């Protein structure tokens, strides 16, 4: 594994092709043993709030939660408590629960944001960034070209390169 570390992963659907890169574990083992929990999953009704007070209590007190998927996977109020009381070490958030409240709005200052966002911003163990890493001319162009390529492939009976689950 990279730099001598152990990489573990959880997925309800086992994928043998990933075995050379990680050890598959159950969700309980993942949250108990990980130093860094990086979230890359779609939001479904079944996993909404999957990181809540119960999960934070099981994580290492110096563990870092990195959410780059969907904000609603994390119970924000429970995350704030876990961060304040050092149940976990920190959080890196690219997405937030209820972020649709702030899309397209201009805020005069940080204090005019919704309370939970202001609270997260002011915690020393939180890093937040806008979910916009994809938004460059090259990235947008590539998304368009990849989509068009897959449409052509699918229409001609071939398998798509960039399958969406």
Query: Which is catalytic among the residues 33, 99, 116, 119?
Result: 99
Backbone angles phi, psi at 126, to 5 degrees: -130, 135
d(CA 141, CA 108) in angstroms, rounded, equals 33
Annotation marks residue 40 as catalytic:
no
Cβ-based neighbours of 37, under 8 Å, separated by 6 or more = 30, 31, 59, 63, 64, 65, 66
Annotation marks residue 119 as catalytic:
no
What sign results for the dihedral spanned by CA atoms 107, 112, 116, 118? positive
Query: Which is catalytic among the residues 70, 72, 87, 97?
Result: 70
Annotation marks residue 99 as catalytic:
yes
Query: Which is catalytic among the residues 33, 116, 119, 131?
Result: 131
Catalytic residues: 70, 99, 131
């Amino acid at each position: 594994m990279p730099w001598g570390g152990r990489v573990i992963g959880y997925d309800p659907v086992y994928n043998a092709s990933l075995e050379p890169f990680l050890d598959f574990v159950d969700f309980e083992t993942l949250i108990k043993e990980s130093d860094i929990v990086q979230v890359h999953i779609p939001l479904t009704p079944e996993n909404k709030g999957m990181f809540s007070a119960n999960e934070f209590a099981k994580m290492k007190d110096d563990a870092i939660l990195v959410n780059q998927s969907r904000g609603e996977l994390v119970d924000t109020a429970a995350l704030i408590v876990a961060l304040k009381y050092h149940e976990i070490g920190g959080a890196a958030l690219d997405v937030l629960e209820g972020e649709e409240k702030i899309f397209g709005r201009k805020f005069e200052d940080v204090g005019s944001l919704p309370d939970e966002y202001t609270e997260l911003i002011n915690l020393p163990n939180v890093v937040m960034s806008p979910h916009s890493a994809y938004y460059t001319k090259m990235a947008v162009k590539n998304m368009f070209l990849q989509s068009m390529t897959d449409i052509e492939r699918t229409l001609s009976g071939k398998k798509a390169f960039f399958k969406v689950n």
